[in-house]
Amino acid sequence: MSEELLALTAADAAEEIRAGELSSQELFETYRGRAAAEDLNAYVWVHEGPSPEVPPSSRLGGVPLAIKDLFCTEGVPSQSGSRILEGYRPPYDATIVNRLTTAGAPLLGKTNQDEFAMGSSTENSAFGPTLNPWDRGRVPGGSSGGSAAAVGAGLAPWAIGTDTGGSIRQPAALCGIVGLKPTYGACSRYGMIAFASSLDQAGPLTRTVTDAALLLAEMVGQDPLDSTSLEFPEPIEVPRAEDLRGVVLGVPEELIGPEGGVEPGVRARFDHTIALAEELGAAIEPCRLPHAPHALSAYYLIAPAEASANLARFDGVRYGLRVDGQADLITMYGRTRAQGFGPEVKRRIMLGTYALSSGYYDAYYGTAQKVRTQIAEDFRAAFDRFDFIVTPTSPWTAFELGAKTNDPLAMYMNDFCTVPMSLAGIPAISIPAGLSEGLPVGFQLAGPAFSENRLLSTAFALEQAIGFDGSRARA
């Protein structure tokens, strides 16, 4: 029975529960058993106690959800992968958690991540790295690597993560699943432990495009608790497109050319997917995003600058860890932060503080903001001619554990193709586009702000044509 359950997508499972063919308790217990026994280190906490009762008529049917550690969940450890939040159990739920559980997706467990979502491999976690279900010697991507590995390995029917510069899309690509970063402001950030507030967005990590649409439909919407959130202009629909007639896709040379260092195997899957899109009726044309190659440099000033301010609150007084509370206040702050933060977080705090310091502010932070505006302009101009921009999600497939941990710049290159969309605040989705040497490759589509419905439809039509089979990772 467990194997039959495992074969169901979240949408299928919700349907069976609604039809009375499956009980949500049985589904929950099956997944809880798998989550509790897993050996990928995908979870940092798994639900305890009796399985939650969810009315079968609820919109998400009672299908359990894995949630990235950084979403505040009431009474449940929420550490953002950091030692500094050891012992912290928030007194409230993040708005997204609240919405999804209320809609009928009960919390199955909290998933591993890079500390404060800083990283591309989930190796920067205080809980140790998560392993890739396709090859346990390799990383699952990051920072939402726990969520991606859990869904890829069949340890959760679906999950949510956050994406600041690629943290949903890149792990989804490396684990052979679907990952969507919504338009900035589409989903409330309230209760998400902040990394870079002008970039952070919550989004779904799922087995299929349909599952992503079902979750997203419950996530979007204005929230009085997050003043940057917006009302989504239309309901999110279940995607149904069968062809791509009339759709024009732009292929930006700047992102897939030599600068991005796209691996030949990844390039081959990308070209194959483009050919499928053409068969479905899409027109494919080269496009220009002249400033996109500078996105990574701008991102690595803006994101650390915001992080240095956001992380100032972790001082040993208010949350989690306190080291040497007997010392004077300043000494206690210093010791707590020295022991509580890992090396990548410290690097970002130093970079960010420097970029914001008087005398350097204009040269670094100010210039990066100008580049950000140019990148958004490039996309705006491109969307006059193109419906979507397409790229490989990541230049390469899952790399070996430890391969990039000593080379931050090589690690940062993971997000070469995903960071531009984050800076522009536009939605982008990664779908599995097949395998290269046995490892999954992601195909990214990006559209204008609030184009999620069209983006999901296009991704759905392509997904059907690709026919990716992720079952090997669930075995």
Residue positions annotated with a catalytic role:
68, 143, 167
Residue 419 near residue 165, CB atoms below 8 Å: yes
**CA separation (Å) from 455 to 421, 427, 463?**
14, 8, 12
Count of positions on this chain that bind ligand GLN (CB under 6 A): 14
Rounded Cα gap, residues 199 and 308, in angstroms: 14
Quote the distance between the C-alpha of residue 250 and its chain's center. 23
111 phi and psi angles, rounded to 5 deg: -105, 155
For tokens 């991540």, the residue is 113
Question: Closest separation between CB of residue 355 and ligand GLN, Å?
Answer: 14
Is 141 a binder of ligand GLN (CB under 6 A)? no
Is 166 a binder of ligand GLN (CB under 6 A)? yes
Question: Closest separation between CB of residue 166 and ligand GLN, Å?
Answer: 5
Is 165 a binder of ligand GLN (CB under 6 A)? yes
Return the number of the residue (117 or 401) whose C-beta is nearest ligand GLN: 117
Is 201 a binder of ligand GLN (CB under 6 A)? no
Rounded Cα gap, residues 397 and 436, in angstroms: 7
Q: Bridge-partner residues for 358, per DSSP?
A: none
107, 118, 371, 389: residue in contact with ligand GLN (rule CB under 6 A) = 118
CA-based radius of gyration for the chain: 21
Residue 246 near residue 266, CB atoms below 8 Å: no
Give the torsion sign (CA, 8, 216, 121, 254): positive
Is 163 a binder of ligand GLN (CB under 6 A)? yes
Rounded Cα gap, residues 199 and 167, in angstroms: 11
Question: Closest separation between CB of residue 120 and ligand GLN, Å?
Answer: 4
Stretch 209-238 residues interacting with ligand GLN (CB under 6 A): none
Rounded Cα gap, residues 101 and 210, in angstroms: 19
Is 69 a binder of ligand GLN (CB under 6 A)? no
* Contact region with ligand GLN (CB under 6 A), list: 160-168, 319-327, 453-461, 466-474: 160-168
Return the number of the residue (18 or 347) whose C-beta is nearest ligand GLN: 347
Crossing angle between the packed helical segments 209-219 and 10-18, to the nearest 10 degrees = 70
Strands 283-287 and 201-206: unpaired
Question: Closest separation between CB of residue 195 and ligand GLN, Å?
Answer: 6
Is 143 a binder of ligand GLN (CB under 6 A)? yes
64, 104, 109, 119: residue in contact with ligand GLN (rule CB under 6 A) = 119
* Contact region with ligand GLN (CB under 6 A), list: 85-93, 157-165, 184-192, 383-391: 157-165
Rounded Cα gap, residues 344 and 408, in angstroms: 9
Question: Closest separation between CB of residue 82 and ligand GLN, Å?
Answer: 13
40, 212, 277, 303: residue in contact with ligand GLN (rule CB under 6 A) = 303
Give the torsion sign (CA, 39, 44, 49, 51): negative
**53: helix, strand or coil:** coil
58, 120, 183, 453: residue in contact with ligand GLN (rule CB under 6 A) = 120
Strands 248-252 and 388-392: parallel
Return the number of the residue (221 or 408) whose C-beta is nearest ligand GLN: 408
Return the number of the residue (415 or 463) whose C-beta is nearest ligand GLN: 415
415, 416, 425, 430: residue in contact with ligand GLN (rule CB under 6 A) = 415
Return the number of the residue (199 or 389) whose C-beta is nearest ligand GLN: 199
Return the number of the residue (174 or 303) whose C-beta is nearest ligand GLN: 303
Quote the distance between the C-alpha of residue 451 and its chain's center. 18
Tokens of 264: 């030949």
Question: Closest separation between CB of residue 283 and ligand GLN, Å?
Answer: 31
Question: Closest separation between CB of residue 467 and ligand GLN, Å?
Answer: 29
Which residues contribute to the site for ligand GLN (CB under 6 A)? 117-120, 143, 163-167, 195, 303, 414-415
